[in-house]
Structure 1
Amino acid sequence: MIRVLLADDQKLVRVGLRMLCESDPEVEVVGEAGDGREAVRLAAERLPDVILMDLRMPGVDGITATERIMAVRPSSRIVALTTFDDDDHLYPALAAGAFGFLVKDTPPAALLAALRRAMAGEPPFSQVVLERLVRQAVRARREPRAETAPELTWLTGLSPRERDVLAMVGEGLSNRNIADRLHLGVSTVKTYVASLMRKTGTANRIRLAVLAARHSDVRRPEVRHVP
C-alpha cells in the first residue's frame, strides 16, 4: 500500500487527486493539506510514503514546507506539482529536497505510475519539467560561477562514453533517446546513468541533468583526424 499525502490550496484539485488515488486499490490517501504549514504537520503525524506538493500555497508555501519536512524526515519522497508558470520555483524546490516533479495536467495513469516509481525510490518527473530545469541551468551557466577546479574533479574521472551520456542527460533526453543516438541498449544507458550519479554524487536523474546542463565542458571534444 502506498500512503499518500495531498498538499494543495485548491480544494477542487485535492478532490480530483483523492478520487484518482482512491481509484487504485494499492494507494491510500492519508491526509489533505490546504497550505504548507498543515502539510508539515500532517507529514509528521500520518507518515506518508509520498507527498504530492503544490509549490504555490498561501502562508507557508510548498518550497518551505518541503524544506521543513526534509529537515526532520529526509527519507520523505516529495513530488512537486507544477504549472506552466512555475519556472522560478523549480530550482528552489529542487534545492529544498523535492524528489520529483510532475505537471498538474499529468494524465491519470501516468500520475499513478509516478506514485509507484516514487515508492520504489525512482524519482518521477514530467519530461517538460526536466526540460524547463535544464533551460534554467543553461541560463545559470552563462552567469559568473564560484566553482573552483577541485569541485569539478569528478569530470576528469569520466570515460568518454560517460561524458556523451551525461551531456545528453543534460539536454533532457530520455534513456530511450540516448540509446537511439548512441546505438546502445536502454539497459546499458541505465547502467551509465547510475554510474554517473554515483561518480557525481547526485541523488537522482533530475539533479544529474541540472549538473550536466550547468557545465559546458561535459561533452568530450571531437577527435579530429589529421590528413
Structure 2
Amino acid sequence: MRVRDSQIMHVLVADQHRIVRAGIKSLLSETGSWQQFQVDEAESTEEAIAMVCSGEYGVVLMEYGLPGRGGIKATEILMARRPGTCILILTDMDDGSQAERIIRAGARGVILKNIGLDTLVFAIRTVMTGKQFYSNEIAIRLLERKGGPQDPLERLTAREKEVFKAILEGLGGEEIAARMHIHKRTVDKHRQHINYKLGIRTPLELVQVGLRLGLISIPTKD
C-alpha cells in the first residue's frame, strides 16, 4: 500500500490490550532513525477492518487473538478487500502450526509480543520491501515442521556468515571492516541482522551459539 509521506510510516496496531497498543506506540516513538511513525489503534477485528479499508497504512500489526473474528480471519478479509495490505501478526506463542495458518491467510510474517524496538523496526521495514519476517523462535518451529535445514547458519547470507565468524574470532568492528574492505557501519548492520536471525541478545549467547555450531572450540588439557 502507498504511504502518504516518505518520511512517515503510518501503522495500525490492532490489539485488544490497551497496554500492548500503548507499549508498541511508545516503542515506535522512541526510534532515533530517519523513519518516523504515526500510530493508530484498534481493539477489535471489525474496527481494524473498517480502519484499513478507509485509510492508508504502511503496516498493520494485528493480534492473533483479536476479539471478533480473530486475526487470521481479519487478515483473509483484508486480503480480499484490500489486496497488498501489509500485515504482521502479533502473538505470544511460538507455535509453528499457528504460523502456517497465518501465512496461508496472507500475512507477511509473525512476531512475538516480547519483541524489542530494533527488531520491531527491522520487521516493519522488512515486510515493507515485500519480504517476510518471523521472530527467531517462530522461524525455528516452521523449519522443524517443514523438515527444512536445521543448521541456523542457513539463515545467514554469505556476507553475514563471514562477519559472524570474524566476531567469534574476537575481532572488533573496525578490524572486521578492514579485513572485509567495507565500512564499519556495514559491519554493524550485518551484526544486527545476525543477532535477529540467530536470536542473539547478549555476548554470552553469542558464545553459546558459536559453541553449539562448532565454530568455537574449547581447548582441552593434555
TM-score band (shorter)? 0.5 to 0.7
Given that residues 3 and 30 in structure 1 are in contact (C-alpha distance below 8 angstroms), is that contact kept between their aligned partners in structure 2?
A: yes
**1:30 positional shift:** 4.3
Q: How many angstroms apart in 1 are the aligned matches of 2:121 and 2:94?
A: 24
Given that residues 30 and 46 in structure 1 are in contact (C-alpha distance below 8 angstroms), is that contact kept between their aligned partners in structure 2?
A: no
Q: How many angstroms apart in 2 are the aligned matches of 1:177 and 1:129?
A: 23
Structure 1 vs Structure 2 CA RMSD: 2.5
Partner of 2:55: 46
Given that residues 94 and 141 in structure 2 are in contact (C-alpha distance below 8 angstroms), is that contact kept between their aligned partners in structure 1?
A: no
Q: How many angstroms apart in 2 are the aligned matches of 1:38 and 1:17?
A: 18
Q: How many angstroms apart in 2 are the aligned matches of 1:134 and 1:75?
A: 26
Alignment gaps of 5+ in structure 1:
139-166, 182-227
Within-5 A mapping of 1:1-227: 1-24=8-31, 26-84=35-93, 86-138=95-147, 167-168=148-149, 173-176=154-157
**1:171 positional shift:** 6.0
Given that residues 95 and 141 in structure 2 are in contact (C-alpha distance below 8 angstroms), is that contact kept between their aligned partners in structure 1?
A: no
Secondary structure of 1:105's aligned partner: coil
Q: TM-score, normalised by structure 1?
A: 0.59
What are the Cα deviations for residues 41-100 of structure 1, in whole angstroms up to 9, with x where unaligned? Answer: 111122101011110122210001111111122211101112126544222111100101
Q: TM-score, normalised by structure 2?
A: 0.61
Given that residues 59 and 87 in structure 2 are in contact (C-alpha distance below 8 angstroms), is that contact kept between their aligned partners in structure 1?
A: yes
- Percent identical among aligned pairs is 30
Q: How many residues align?
A: 152
The one-letter code sitting in structure 2 at the alignment partner of 1:128 is E
Given that residues 94 and 112 in structure 2 are in contact (C-alpha distance below 8 angstroms), is that contact kept between their aligned partners in structure 1?
A: no
Alignment gaps of 5+ in structure 2:
1-7, 163-222
